[in-house]
Structure 1
Amino acid sequence: MDLQTHQGNIITNTATMAYRNLLKTVHNPDRFMDVIVQPVLFMLLFGYLFGGAIAGNVQAYLPTIVPGILMQAMLSAASGSGAQIREDLDSGVFDRFKSLPMAHIAPLAGQLFADSLRLVLAAIASLTTGYLMGWRPAAGFGWVLVSAGLAIFTGWALSWLFALLGLLAKSAATVQSLSLMAMLVLAFVSNAFIPLKSLPKPLHVLANLNPVTAVITAIRQLLATGTWTHAASLVLIFGVGVVVIFAPLAVWAYDRN
């Protein structure tokens, strides 16, 4: 088999497995609850409960909270990858896939690409709720799409990290617990919901080191200025770096399983 044929098989097989995972998700609507209901609830709760206390009123708080909820939704959607992979491994279906005449990496890659739908739905739910609450970004609709694309790419990159966790953990329950803790720390020890200057010194330092803080800052700049910023370029480089590091590690863990 020549290289071109082999590459074509990988793409075709990955697309087939991604379609299989999409069908599985569509037939299990509960898998969408965390990426559709959760962003809406958090936007409403944080906006109306804390908007007045933090920013004076809800309208003034929306430019802060919408990017924060968007990124939290990306983390929640990305963290689901690990649990789903662990469930498939425990069910033995991946062993069946490995016995079929398909590209070895296709089942894993298909899962990760299918999860992109969860990221897109989470972004739509977050931004639409913010818009209905009165959020109007200064940069215009085009830069909303650019910002959403940057957030989705970052979430997809992080899904490789959570996939690695799912491949290494012993059970889906363990993956869910660790993913939830990681998501809460990354989302709340950041500038997602409050100004960093209000944090105590140790938390302020941690929040500045948190990559989620950098992503949210870049998104806010894009939406406020309507220009591609240095911070956005750094976030893009960060996302590529995460994929370069954790995708091979996920493949290695997949081979071990």
Structure 2
Amino acid sequence: MESRSFLDQMNHLVTINFPPRRIVSLVPSQTELLADLDLDEKIVGITKFCVHPQAWISPKKIVGGTKQFNFEVIQALEPDLIIANKEENYQEGINRLRAKYPVWTSDIVSIEDAVAMVACLGQITDTKEQAENIIASIHESFEKLISTPPVSALYLIWHKPWMAAGRDTFINTLLEKMGLRNAVPETRYPEISEEYIQAMNPDYILLSSEPFPFKEKHVDMLQQLLPQSKIILVDGEMFSWYGSRLIKAPAYFNSLNFQ
């Protein structure tokens, strides 16, 4: 094996023994991508939230959650590459891992960032051809995306307190790609009050399936608050997973039938 260095999306130079043979993934959407890059035999550890592919849940070692790592389990796995994300993982844990292992970290807000991440992981894992095929499929899928009318949408991710996806997020990028106007002017994921939601008076309220599992009772609750808005339960993976799941996202968005 030879030593090679790669720049991650945080501008850290990551030096690994190439190609890596024992990979730990700390991000669900990137775990799914690694599966689609045909890296089954090289992935040794995943988080408890890495539910795709389902076939990996039992045989792969669980290394904790995205915000709380089990360092002893990771050490026992002897990884030669750890794949993380700026937003989904916690900085203290990443810093601790980076002191001992090569950690490649993504930072994704736009679709261009996501495509670049796929390309980079293809290079660093020696699966460049598979990565190029995935990128081509993503571009092909988004060419079929049907633009919605210019209506406003509030995308909620949490209850008690209410939290929304604001600007400068990947979710906002996809909303805009669909043609929707984000009703939230703030950046990142602000906490908002019911009074603020009423003042927004969005045309649509999208209730994500993750990280908070919104149900029909939340639809009813918000419908009483905003009888004029149309409220939809949506698949959060389609709006926030930035790996190979992007191939499926446009068809899902088209199925929502915004009027």
TM-score scaled to structure 2, two decimals?
Answer: 0.24
Instruction: Identify, as 1 or 2, the structure richer in strand.
Output: 2
Instruction: Identify, as 1 or 2, the structure richer in helix.
Output: 1
TM-score scaled to structure 1, two decimals?
Answer: 0.24
